[in-house]
Structure formats: C-alpha cells, structure tokens
C-alpha cells in the first residue's frame, strides 16, 4: 500500500476506509492516463505544454460528459414514470 493511500485511509473513519481507498486509487489511475496523454503528444513531436493542454482538454471533456450524464440520470429519477405505479408524487414528498 502506498503511503498516500495509507494516509487517506487513516484520515477517515473506519466505515469510510474503503471509500477513501477507492478515491485514492481512482485519482492515481486518472493521473496515469493524463500522463500517458502528455507522453504520447511529446513522443509525436509536440511540446510539453501542448501535451498538458491536450491532457487538460481530455480531462475537461470527460468531466463535462460525466456531469451531463449525471444530470440526465437525476432528472430521469424524478420523472413520474420512474415512480412505482406511475403516479406523480406530491412536491413535498419529491424533495425529501
């Protein structure tokens, strides 16, 4: 276990240790993918700055795509068709 993952796990309660480990692992893998983008651009003759620009554009595109998907998922979860029986819920019940 890397020191960073160990620190992440120790910084949270025992119930949240798995979540902290997962977030740490995911962050490390995202960094590796972005680093690979930079390396690929550099090996193609581009400058380091151009590689970073490509990596940040890729990260932004993925973030935007995830935000749109999450927004659509949240909207679909609130539609009357998503409620068992198809009857719309009163507004006060939908908020809780």
Encode pLDDT of 49-66 as tens digits.
999 999 999 999 999 999
Domains of the chain, by residue range, sit at 3-95
Report pTM: 0.65
Instruction: Give the residue among 80, 35, 92 at the shortest CA–CA distance from 59.
Output: 35
Residue 90: which of 77, 80, 81, 82 has the closest Cα? Answer: 80
How far is residue 12's CA from residue 20's CA, in Å, rounded to a whole number?
7
pLDDT in tens, 63-81: 999 999 999 999 988 776 6
Q: What pLDDT sits at residue 71?
A: 95
């Amino acid at each position: 276990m890397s020191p960073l993952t160990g620190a992440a796990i120790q910084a949270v309660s025992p119930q949240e240790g798995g979540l902290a480990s997962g977030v740490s692992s995911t962050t490390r893998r995202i960094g590796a993918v972005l680093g690979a983008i930079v390396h690929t651009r550099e090996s193609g003759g581009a400058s380091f700055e151009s590689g970073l620009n490509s990596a940040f554009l890729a990260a932004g595109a993925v973030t935007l795509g995830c935000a749109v998907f999450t927004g659509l998922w949240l909207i679909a979860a609130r539609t009357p068709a998503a409620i068992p029986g198809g009857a719309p819920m009163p507004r006060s019940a939908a908020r809780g």
